[in-house]
């Protein structure tokens, strides 16, 4: 089972989404559905992929009413086939209707990310490279979207600006180091020697310099596959390597063949297409 986000993160996201959709009252359901009317319901997939977000959908229904009974059929991270039920429930019909869209939004969005991630992982399975996500996430949903990446077999990059050093071009331009890579590394290590340090390289000359310094990972930014292969050879295992920039499903097999350690893919979270799910209610 994939380790889920903290319970408080899931609950907060569920409450925020439900509150946004319901507002003061779901007026259509309030007028048309008697308060004592109950039903059974299920959420099922309308296409195949990798499941993610069931835990958040459950939190939405619990937020809507403690009287909704939930039965999880599939776990996040598992393959799901078209027409397969992933979650069953029973309880007040009015409240299930109110929570329906928010719950489906989470499952569709997160399963889309997990499914796309799985495709990237499969595309590079013949090599050692691991697929990384980025910070290109939906504001307020980063923990959940990075969870979906894990459900798809991917690996999380840094969670934010606080848990890893990652100086890029603009840091070098505006810092007081004069862009000197050795001085950049020295200052960051002096601040905290235990924090992971990744430094971006745009050229082979920068790769040569960084390979001699105390860095954990060299990020090979927007390089051709041929140049990346040269960079990996120059580094010679002295630190990890990460390929970044314009990574597509068609390109990543060739990138992985350069024997980089990681490939970071912004598309996992900024361009994933939602996987289609539906909720069916019965008396």
Active site residues: 101, 136, 168, 200, 221
Task: Give the DSSP H/E element, type plus range, for residue 86.
Answer: strand 85-92
- Smallest CA-to-CA distance from 88 within 48, 39, 50, 53 is with 39
**Cα-flanking dihedrals φ and ψ of residue 158, to 5°?**
-60, 150
Distance CA 200, CA 181 (A): 10
Q: How far apart are the first and last CA of the chain?
A: 33
- Residue identified by tokens 């403690």 is 66
Asked if residues 80 and 50 have their Cβ atoms less than 8 Å apart, the reply is yes
- Residue identified by tokens 């597509």 is 248
């Amino acid at each position: 089972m994939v380790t889920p986000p903290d319970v408080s993160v899931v609950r907060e996201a569920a409450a925020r989404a439900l509150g946004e959709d319901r507002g003061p009252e779901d007026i259509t359901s309030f007028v048309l559905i008697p308060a004592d009317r109950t039903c059974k319901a299920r959420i099922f997939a309308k296409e195949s992929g990798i499941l993610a977000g069931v835990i958040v959908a459950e939190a939405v229904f619990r937020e809507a009413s403690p009287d909704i009974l939930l039965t999880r059929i599939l776990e996040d991270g598992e393959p799901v086939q078209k027409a397969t039920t992933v979650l069953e429930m029973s309880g007040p019909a009015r409240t299930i209707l109110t929570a329906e869209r928010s719950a489906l939004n989470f499952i569709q969005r997160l399963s889309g990310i997990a499914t796309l991630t799985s495709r990237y992982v499969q595309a590079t399975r013949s090599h050692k490279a691991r697929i990384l996500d980025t910070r290109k996430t939906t504001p307020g949903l980063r923990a959940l979207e990075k969870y979906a990446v894990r459900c798809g077999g991917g690996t999380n990059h840094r969670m934010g600006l606080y848990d890893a050093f990652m100086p890029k071009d603009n840091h070098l331009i505006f810092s007081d180091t004069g862009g000197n890579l050795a001085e950049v590394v020295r200052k960051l290590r002096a601040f905290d020697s235990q924090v992971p340090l990744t430094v971006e390289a745009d050229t082979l000359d920068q790769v040569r310099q960084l390979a001699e310094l105390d860095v954990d990972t060299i990020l090979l930014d927007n390089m051709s596959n041929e140049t990346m292969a040269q960079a990996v050879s120059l580094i010679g295992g002295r630190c990890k390597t990460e390929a970044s920039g314009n990574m597509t499903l068609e390109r990543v097999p060739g990138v992985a063949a350069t024997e980089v350690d990681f490939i970071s893919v912004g598309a996992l979270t900024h361009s994933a297409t939602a996987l289609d799910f539906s909720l069916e209610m019965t008396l």
